[in-house]
Amino acid sequence: MKLRRVVVTGLGALTPLGNTAPDFWRGLVNGVSGAGPITRFDVSKFKTKFACELKDFDPTNFFDRKEVRKFDPFTLYGMVCADEAVLDSGLISDTLDFDRVGVIWASGIGGMTTIFDEITAFASGDGTPRFSPLMIPKMIADIPAGQISIRYGFRGPNFATVSACASSANALIDAFNYIRLGMADAFVTGGSEAAINVMGVGAFNAMHALSTRNDDPATASRPFDKDRDGFVMGEGGGAMIFEDLEHALARGAKIYAEVAGAGMSADAHHIVAPHPEGLGALNAMRSALRDAGMTVNDIDHVNTHGTSTPLGDIAETTALGRLFGDHSSKVYVNSTKSMTGHLLGAAGVVEAMASIFAIQNNIIPPTINHFTDDLEVDQTLSYVFNKALPTTVNTALSNTFGFGGHNATLIFKKFVQ
């Protein structure tokens, strides 16, 4: 069968760099760090005392107080992003077939704040099992997908994807596949995460996964730098409208980019460590290129997973060097996590959005906080360090990897009718 073409017609973002998609992009291009001291709870006894929190976000600016109490922060983040993307797309109209519009949403963790608050309240009580009747719908990962569909009346395919930090990239890939197979006309797709709390920071500290550069949070996220010491936790979310090309053209929609291809794989190696040679990452990228009908020579830019972890950055750049070979010096590589921190399950969508903006604006955001080269990181690639690079970007590849060995790669390209 002939696959339908899929395009991106709406964007929404809520990130540590800005509370809208345009603000997010401005922060990236200007090399802004979203990191700072944690303000949500007392961090005096924590190994890590900083994160990339949202700035000036008040949910009551979007919902009434009664509605806010019904949802975990990760759901509120998701709804805000989705609202921006739907409005940006102009999708809603009297002629829209709501049965053909779906929602695929992601979260790597779900309602962690709700779980922690409810268990803490129980543990401090007399043992009587008093739990909120809203606890379950607040904590489960599929609630944003359901709530977004309720909010707009979208009756197409509706579910959540969970694959740790690859979750929202997998959501985008599923939406891409459903549309090109003719099973829907459009999707609201993306992901959200809200894990900057006592349990989230404490648990990742226990894994020795987080940077402990408490003396200088703004420079703590250092992808590819010799002195990187772990990732910086972020929060927020991102939403996109994926749409069948003919459906978008028929309604005169603006088109940001085309989804060219996607690939997925498993490391089959370790519960949290990447394959040391990046074999799973390599397989995902090769699959995406085959799916797009492209070769490595067609790729201009790679937005890496680039977490700033000692093992992860080496594994990914090793895979990139093997993949691109002689073309390595011609592909521009960055990690926007140097600015946003790691949004966990929402990382894939916000980094895919950064890739789309790079294509649209012909500017590659920098990897900030690079001070010292690490010779274990593949040196054949062209890294964009510390300052944005104006250059023609026709195609961009976006990588996202998750604990458990989940790998997801998306390729976007300039739309040409």
What is the pLDDT averaged over residues 168-192?
98
As a whole-number percent, the residues of the chain with pLDDT over 70 amount to 100
Give the per-residue pLDDT at 1.
78
Domain layout of the chain by residue ranges: 6-250, 265-413
What is the pLDDT averaged over residues 280-296?
98
What is the pLDDT averaged over residues 357-376?
98
- Does residue 373 carry a pLDDT above 90? yes
**363-364/382-383 β-pairing:** unpaired
Q: C-alpha distances in angstroms, 341 versus 17, 218, 383? A: 10, 10, 18
User: Could you tell me the end-to-end alpha-carbon distance of the chain, in angstroms, rounded to an integer?
Assistant: 21
Q: Which of 258, 223, 226 shows the shortest CA–CA distance to 244?
A: 258
Domain 265-413 has CATH 3.30.300.130: no
Alpha-carbon span 289 to 159, nearest angstrom? 27
Lowest-pLDDT choice from 83-87, 125-129, 185-189, 206-210: 125-129
Judge residue 203's burial from the number of C-beta atoms within 10 Å of its C-beta, 0-12 exposed, 13-18 middle, 19 or more buried.
Answer: middle
What is the pLDDT averaged over residues 203-230?
98
Alpha-carbon span 199 to 192, nearest angstrom? 17
52 is catalytic: no
Tell me the average pLDDT of the chain.
Answer: 97
Q: C-alpha distances in angstroms, 342 versus 34, 167, 253? A: 11, 13, 32
Do 312 and 235 meet the contact criterion of CB atoms below 8 Å apart? no
What is the pLDDT averaged over residues 70-94?
98
Asked whether the domain spanning 265-413 has the same topology as the one spanning 6-250, the reply is: yes
Domain 6-250 has CATH 3.40.50.970: no
- Does residue 38 carry a pLDDT above 90? yes
CB atoms closer than 10 angstroms to residue 87 = 12
Do 151 and 79 meet the contact criterion of CB atoms below 8 Å apart? yes
Q: Please report, as a single letter, which amino acid is at residue 193.
A: E
Q: Rounded to 5 degrees, what angle do the CA atoms 49, 345, 306 make? A: 70
Alpha-carbon span 188 to 190, nearest angstrom? 7
3-state secondary structure the chain: CCCCCEEEEEEEEEECCECCHHHHHHHHHCCCCCCEECCCCCCCCCCCCEEECCCCCCHHHCCCHHHHCCCCHHHHHHHHHHHHHHHHHCCCCCCCCHHHEEEEEECCCCCHHHHHHHHHHHHCCCCCCCCCCCHHHHHCCCHHHHHHHHHHCCCCCEEEECECECHHHHHHHHHHHHHHCCCCCEEEEEEEECCCCHHHHHHHHHCCCECCCCCCHHHCCCCCECCCCCECEECEEEEEEEEEHHHHHHCCCCCCEEEEEEEEEECCCCCCCCCCCCHHHHHHHHHHHHHHCCCHHHCCEEECCCCCCHHHHHHHHHHHHHHHHHHHHHCEEECCHHHHCECHHHHHHHHHHHHHHHHHHCEECCECCCCCECCCCCCCCEECECCCEECCCCEEEEEEEECCCEEEEEEEECCCC
* Per-residue tokens: 73: 């922060």
Which residue is it, tokens 């009551």?
60
Q: What confidence category does residue 417 fall into, taking pLDDT thresholds of 50, 70 and 90?
A: confident
**pTM summary value:** 0.97
What is the pLDDT averaged over residues 226-245?
98
305 is catalytic: yes
What is the pLDDT averaged over residues 201-226?
98
What is the pLDDT averaged over residues 223-245?
98
* Per-residue tokens: 136: 């379950």
Alpha-carbon span 59 to 73, nearest angstrom? 9
Which distant-in-sequence residues (6+ apart) come within 8 Å of 216 by Cβ? none
Which residue out of 247, 275, 301, 342 is catalytically annotated? 342
Q: Please report, as a single letter, which amino acid is at residue 243.
A: E
Which residue out of 165, 247, 275, 406 is catalytically annotated? 165
Which residue out of 247, 275, 301, 305 is catalytically annotated? 305
What is the pLDDT averaged over residues 43-47?
98
Give the per-residue pLDDT at 146.
98
